[in-house]
Amino acid sequence: MKINPKFTIFTLIITFCIIGYYPLWGQVQPTLGGTSRMMNNALAEMEKGNFDKANAFFRQIIDSNLPIPPEMPYFFAETLFELKQYDNSANFLNKYFQISGLKGENFESAKVLETKLTGPLNAIKSCELCDRRGYRFKTCFTCDGSKQLEQDCTYCKAKGIVGCNKCMGSGLVTKKNVFNIVEYHECDKCTGEGRLTCPTCSGEKLEHSTCRTCRGVGHLQSDQICDHEPQEPRHMSYVFQKLKSH
């Protein structure tokens, strides 16, 4: 039998294409398998009560940018609830309801979790010590909660007084009388003093500006979950300040 050289080349090309294709296929498959492996790992950690570890596995699934297993948002919401990240838990629970609707395998348990979340979410809403996600505010380190910063008045360079701009600091103004002769008069603006109280600081020598660190709020975000209980006396005074400002 004679072998057609054209046919051989064609076969080789096809073979290379298949060989070239397989590694690609091989790369995708284990990663897809990885999502369910990460999911299983997360569930195993949940079972053991290791919610921090479960959290890490769930975050790996999100970071992988691969399709999320349909029940994952529910289990992640349960984990976040255990970690007291109630706002985040509610977000993933809503996501679960959106994706799976009534058909979700864990729909009933998800409904139970939704009810369990109402209390903690209301506590966050009514607490003055934390942000709307339930993270405790910390006092701004720049203004120490006072929202404003005090600095030397830049207009008068902290002297409290400025030179009179009408008499240029001399205390005297000139006027020409009817005979066109220059007469000197006491400056009426500064009553002959030659200087005026600083119009910017009203003589206080200080200037107030909004704290830039906290943008005038007095507090900053933190990653500490709030227990909605005032802790230090400093926090107490902060609460009273907040109450006064309302």
Using the contact rule CB under 5 A, the part of the chain among 4-12, 34-42, 73-81, 228-236 near Zn ion is 228-236
The CA angle 223-229-235, to the nearest 5 degrees, is 80
Does 241 sit near Zn ion (CB under 5 A)? no
Using the contact rule CB under 5 A, the part of the chain among 16-24, 28-36, 41-49, 222-230 near Zn ion is 222-230
Q: How many helices (H) and strands (E) does the chain have?
A: 6, 8
Does 137 sit near Zn ion (CB under 5 A)? no
Does 235 sit near Zn ion (CB under 5 A)? no
Measured from the CB atom, the residue of 53 and 84 that comes closer to Zn ion is 84
Which H or E run includes 88?
Answer: helix 86-100
**Token pair belonging to 163:** 């030179």
DSSP state of 136: B
DSSP string, 167-186: TTTSSEEEEE-TTS-EEEEE
Does 142 sit near Zn ion (CB under 5 A)? yes
Could you say which of 39, 120, 201, 238 contacts Zn ion (CB under 5 A)?
A: 201
Does 129 sit near Zn ion (CB under 5 A)? yes
Say if residue 4 is exposed, middle or buried (CB neighbours under 10 Å; 0-12, 13-18, 19+).
exposed
Does 138 sit near Zn ion (CB under 5 A)? no
Could you say which of 200, 221, 222, 241 contacts Zn ion (CB under 5 A)?
A: 200
Does 141 sit near Zn ion (CB under 5 A)? no
Using the contact rule CB under 5 A, the part of the chain among 3-11, 90-98, 110-118, 203-211 near Zn ion is 203-211
Quote the CA–CA distance of 141 and 241 in Å, as a whole number.
17
Q: Taking CB under 5 A as the rule, which mask of x and - marks residues 147-166 in contact with Zn ion?
A: ------x-xx-------x-x
Instruction: State residue 185 phi and psi, 5-degree precision.
Output: -125, 155
Q: How far is the CB of 230 from Zn ion (least distance, A)?
A: 10
**Residue length of the chain:** 246
Q: Taking CB under 5 A as the rule, which mask of x and - marks residues 89-128 in contact with Zn ion?
A: --------------------------------------x-
Quote the CA–CA distance of 31 and 122 in Å, as a whole number.
40
Say if residue 211 is exposed, middle or buried (CB neighbours under 10 Å; 0-12, 13-18, 19+).
buried
Q: List residues binding Zn ion (CB under 5 A).
A: 127, 129-130, 140, 142-143, 153, 155-156, 164, 166-167, 187, 189-190, 198, 200-201, 211, 213-214, 226, 228
